[in-house]
């Protein structure tokens, strides 16, 4: 059974019942991420998450079969940001500029504060049980970026492959920036670290 991913920006007005479902879904994700990042994934029980979200254990399982599914729902909230940001960039931007803007646009969606964002990043990047979730997240981000880039690159036989190479390189830079951010315990903001990593990547791979 897959976790329910509910729309947060509907195209038409929602019924009161559907609005309540979305509010419960969001409350569950918020409660779970806060508890899991502060107490640890294995140490946090579903009963604690349900109590913090103000619902029953039975209701929680109707939305998410496992704790990992809740973390998956949190990661999916950021995936659409990548393509939307690429599509909104002006014409003429380089692939590196498009990717940089897209990855930076994700960062504010991680959490409302840098302290929480760091805790969430440590949770998903350093919890062995969540490694499959992390890998799926990056695969989804790569697909989203590659598809968006493919629409922007000049027509050619190798356009799809070029977009995939660029997207994978961008995700590698983002993951490297996260590793560095964790290593320094968030003592510097993430955005400048990401920009530095992307510059190093460009300088090292550019022709002399």
Mean pLDDT, rounded, for 39-66: 94
pTM for the model: 0.85
- Does the pLDDT of residue 7 top 70, yes or no? no
**Among candidates 110, 103, 121, which has minimal Cα distance to 185?**
121
pLDDT tens, residue by residue, 133-191: 999 999 999 999 999 899 888 889 999 999 999 999 999 999 999 999 999 999 999 99
What share of the chain in percent tops pLDDT 70?
93
Rounded Cα gap, residues 42 and 114, in angstroms? 24
What pLDDT shows up at residue 207? 64
Sign, CA torsion 53/112/42/139:
positive
- Does the pLDDT of residue 86 top 80, yes or no? yes
Domains of the chain: 16-65 (1.10.10.60), 68-205 (1.10.357.10)
What pLDDT shows up at residue 2? 45
- Does the pLDDT of residue 4 top 80, yes or no? no
Q: How confident is the model at residue 41 (pLDDT cuts 50, 70, 90)?
A: very high
Contact between 3 and 72 (Cβ < 8 Å): yes
Q: Round the CA-based radius of gyration of the chain to a whole number and report it.
A: 19
Rounded Cα gap, residues 181 and 159, in angstroms? 33
């Amino acid at each position: 059974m897959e976790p329910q991913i509910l729309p947060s920006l509907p195209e038409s007005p929602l019924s009161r019942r559907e609005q309540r479902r979305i509010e419960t879904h969001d409350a569950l994700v918020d409660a779970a991420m806060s508890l899991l990042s502060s107490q640890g994934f294995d140490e946090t029980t579903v009963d604690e998450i349900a109590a913090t979200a103000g619902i029953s254990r039975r209701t929680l399982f109707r939305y998410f079969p496992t704790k990992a599914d809740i973390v998956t729902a949190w990661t999916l909230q950021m995936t659409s940001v990548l393509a939307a940001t690429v599509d909104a960039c002006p014409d003429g931007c380089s692939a590196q500029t498009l990717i940089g803007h897209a990855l930076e646009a994700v960062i504010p969606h991680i959490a409302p504060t840098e302290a929480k964002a760091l805790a969430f990043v440590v949770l998903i990047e350093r919890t062995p049980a969540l490694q499959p979730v992390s890998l799926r997240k990056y695969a989804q981000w790569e697909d989203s970026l590659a598809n968006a880039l493919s629409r922007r690159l000049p027509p050619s036989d190798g356009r799809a492959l070029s977009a995939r190479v660029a997207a994978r390189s961008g995700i590698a830079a983002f993951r490297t920036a996260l590793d560095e951010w964790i290593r320094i315990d968030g003592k510097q903001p993430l955005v400048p670290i990401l920009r530095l990593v992307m510059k190093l990547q460009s300088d090292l791979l550019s022709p002399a």
